[in-house]
C-alpha cells in the first residue's frame, strides 16, 4: 500500500501527501483514519508518515502510522526537527516566564529550538517615559537575548513591517520540518506570509483591553518553504500545563541547570534547600540567572500542585 505524509488535519479528515509528490494544491489525498485508531485512543497527527489505502470514492483511509521521531501534544504535530518559538518584543510585551515554560516543554521532547523575536521595529531606544507593562527598551531586550544566547539558544529578530530577519529564519529551517509556536498575536502568521510567496494567512490586531491577540489560525497545516523545508502554522495559545513533565525531571529541562547538577551532593536534588546544591551555588554566584531559577521554582510548585489535584 502507498505511503505518505499528513500535511493537514481538519474536522476528522487527514490530507495525505503521497510519497515523492510535491506539496502543491490538488496533490493530497483526503483520508479518514481507521476505526481501530479511535478504539486504541490513537490520533494521527500532522507530520505523521503513514500507510494509506484508496477507497472507491477517490479518497482514502489511513491504515498505519509509522514510528515517530518526535511528538508535540500542544501544538499536536509529529516528526518535527525544530520548534520556532515566536515571541514579540512588545504588543504583547515579551513574557520571559511564558518563554521559559515553552522551553521546558520543548526540552522535554528533545527537539531543537530556535527563538524568534518579532516586531523589533517597536523597541524603544531609551527608558524615558516607558510603561514596562506594554513596551520594551533596546537595552532590556539586549539583556534578554544575551541571557538566552549564553544558555545555548540561537535566536533571530524580525520585523514583518520592515521585512527584516526573514532570510535568517529561512536559512535556519533549510530542509527541515519545523513548527511555529507561541502565544496569540505575536506575529506568527504575518511572518509566515513574508516567508512563503503567495501565502495570505489571516492576521488580527492585538486586543488593547486584553493585551493579547485573537486566534487567527484554527488548525495545524504543513506549508512548503522555498528551500525544500516544511513549516507548520499552528493555533496560538498563551497557557500551558505540565502534564508531561515530572518534578524530578524539571531541572533537566533547564540547560544551564543540567550542566552543573551532576555536582550536587544528592542524586535527584530538586535544588530547593539541599546542602551542596550546585544550581543554587550558581544562582548565588551569578552564573545562573536568578530569573530562570525563580521560574523553575514557580514551575516546580505548579507540578506539585497538579499531583495533589490528581
Residues annotated within the binding site are 118-121, 182-190, 264, 269, 271, 277
Q: How many residues are present in the chain?
A: 310
- Annotated binding-site residue numbers for Zn(2+): 264, 269, 271, 277
Residues belonging to the binding site for GTP are 118-121, 182-190
- Cβ contact 63:43 at 8 Å: no
Alpha-carbon Rg for the chain, nearest whole angstrom, is 21
Contacts of 283 (CB under 8 A, 6+ apart): 289, 290, 293
Q: Return d(Cα 187, Cα 137) in angstroms, integer.
A: 19
Three-state secondary structure call for residue 51: strand
What residue ranges in 11-154 does DSSP mark as E strands? Answer: 13-18, 29-33, 49-54, 60-65, 71-72, 77-78, 82-88, 112-118
Kindly give the interhelix angle for 290-309 and 278-285, rounded to the nearest 10 degrees.
140
Question: Which of 19, 24, 27, 73 is CA-nearest to residue 46?
Answer: 73
Q: Return the SS3 of 263.
A: coil
Closest CA to 37 of 72, 76, 63, 60: 63
Amino acid at each position: 500500500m502507498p505511503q505518505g505524509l499528513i500535511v493537514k488535519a481538519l474536522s476528522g479528515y487527514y490530507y495525505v501527501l503521497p510519497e515523492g509528490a510535491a506539496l502543491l494544491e490538488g496533490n493530497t489525498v483526503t483520508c479518514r483514519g481507521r476505526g481501530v485508531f479511535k478504539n486504541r485512543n490513537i490520533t494521527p497527527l500532522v507530520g505523521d508518515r503513514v500507510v494509506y489505502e484508496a477507497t472507491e470514492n477517490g479518497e482514502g483511509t489511513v491504515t498505519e502510522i509509522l514510528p515517530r521521531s518526535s511528538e508535540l501534544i500542544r501544538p499536536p504535530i509529529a516528526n518535527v526537527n525544530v520548534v520556532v518559538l515566536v515571541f514579540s518584543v512588545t504588543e504583547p510585551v515579551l513574557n520571559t516566564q511564558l518563554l521559559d515554560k515553552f522551553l521546558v516543554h520543548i526540552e522535554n521532547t528533545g527537539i531543537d529550538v530556535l527563538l524568534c523575536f518579532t516586531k523589533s521595529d517597536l523597541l524603544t531606544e531609551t527608558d524615558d517615559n516607558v510603561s514596562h507593562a506594554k513596551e520594551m527598551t533596546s537595552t532590556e531586550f539586549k539583556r534578554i537575548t544575551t541571557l538566552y544566547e549564553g544558555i545555548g539558544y540561537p535566536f533571530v529578530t524580525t520585523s514583518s513591517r520592515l521585512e527584516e530577519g526573514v532570510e535568517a529564519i529561512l536559512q535556519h529551517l533549510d530542509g527541515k520540518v519545523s513548527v511555529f509556536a507561541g502565544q496569540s498575536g505575536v506575529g506568527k502568521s504575518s511572518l509566515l506570509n513574508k516567508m512563503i510567496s503567495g501565502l495570505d494567512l489571516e492576521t488580527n490586531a492585538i486586543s488593547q483591553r486584553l493585551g493579547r491577540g485573537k486566534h487567527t489560525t484554527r488548525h495545524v497545516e504543513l506549508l512548503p518553504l522555498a528551500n525544500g523545508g516544511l513549516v507548520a502554522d499552528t493555533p496560538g495559545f498563551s497557557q500551558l500545563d505540565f502534564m508531561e513533565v515530572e518534578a524530578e525531571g524539571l531541572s533537566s529541562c533547564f540547560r544551564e541547570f543540567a550542566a552543573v547538577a551532576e555536582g550536587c551532593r544528592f542524586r535527584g536534588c530538586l535544588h530547593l534547600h539541599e546542602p551542596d546544591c550546585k544550581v543554587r551555588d550558581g544562582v548565588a554566584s551569578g552564573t545562573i540567572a536568578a530569573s530562570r531559577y525563580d521560574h523553575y521554582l514557580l514551575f516546580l510548585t505548579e507540578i506539585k500542585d497538579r499531583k495533589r489535584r490528581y
